[in-house]
Amino acid sequence: MSREIQRKFEDYAYVLDYLAHGKMGGSRPAFKTEPLIQLIGENFFTLLEATPRSGVLVSLHERVYIGKDLPRDKISHISGRVSYDDLSSTAKGELPIVVEDIIRINEEQFVKFFNFAQPITQRMHSLELIPGIGKKYTWTILGAREKKSFESFDDIKNRTGLPDPVKLITKRILEELSEAEPKYRLFTRAS
């Protein structure tokens, strides 16, 4: 079993928004607001809110350590998980860009998905859950990977004619994050 599957918590996350004065409409009185950071975890795409350390500045898309094994240099504490609807408009706007970056950085992991994805039911393959991949592309992908495992996103595109796999996976992850209770999860973890 891989380390990502065994771990329950994220070690690193990317900054989606820095709210210097906290969130409006929250349960805290206005005079007690504190800075808040909205984040997305790099392994399970967990949406989180955290409080930065005093005097620390973070920038959008910055990768920060949020794990439990080492001291955190930028994050004081994790407030908890949040839903897509709890994200600020800035965070929602940055989300597709950051998700795409995470996918590109972890290309090997996502190419492995194309190499080992299995059927969900007798009539549906997990590849079909990715927007833009229907039955025809699924059969093309399965046939190509049977001959030789895929080595990169470019290899997938070149051998199957599939449009940009990164964009398609990004769309699927955004669907999983924005739906209240997705029936199937390929890349995210339930709350």
76: pLDDT confidence band, cut at 50, 70 and 90? very high
User: Is the residue at 191 inside a domain?
Assistant: no
Angle 97-1-73 (CA atoms, 0-180°, nearest 5)?
A: 50
Residues 78 and 154 in one domain: no
Contact of 124 with 160, CB cutoff 8 Å:
no
Read off the CATH number of the domain in which 24 is found. 2.40.50.140
Final residue in a domain of this structure, among 91, 125, 156: 91
CB-based burial label for 112 (10 Å; 0-12, 13-18, 19+): middle
What's the rounded Cα separation, in Å, for the pair 92 and 90?
5
In DSSP terms, which residues pair with 19 in a beta bridge? 36
> What confidence score (pLDDT) does residue 91 get?
98
Contact of 173 with 113, CB cutoff 8 Å:
no
Instruction: List the structure tokens of 166.
Output: 């990164």
Instruction: List the structure tokens of 33.
Output: 């607001």
Give 107-140 pLDDT, tens digit per residue.
999 999 999 999 999 999 999 999 999 999 999 9
Q: For the chain, how many structural domains are there in total? A: 2
> What confidence score (pLDDT) does residue 7 get?
54
User: Is the residue at 122 inside a domain?
Assistant: yes
Contact of 93 with 17, CB cutoff 8 Å:
no
User: Is the residue at 63 inside a domain?
Assistant: yes
Final residue in a domain of this structure, among 64, 91, 118: 91
Residues 79 and 11 in one domain: yes
pTM for this model (two decimals): 0.89
Contacts for 112 with CB less than 8 Å, ≥ 6 apart:
none
Residues 78 and 11 in one domain: yes
> What confidence score (pLDDT) does residue 24 get?
64
Final residue in a domain of this structure, among 91, 120, 147: 91
Least confident of 87-96, 101-110, 180-189: 180-189
Instruction: Give me the domain span that covers residue 136.
Output: 106-178
Residue 32 reports pLDDT greater than 60: no
Least confident of 4-13, 51-60, 73-82, 161-170: 4-13
Residues 124 and 61 in one domain: no
What's the rounded Cα separation, in Å, for the pair 171 and 166?
9
Residues 84 and 111 in one domain: no
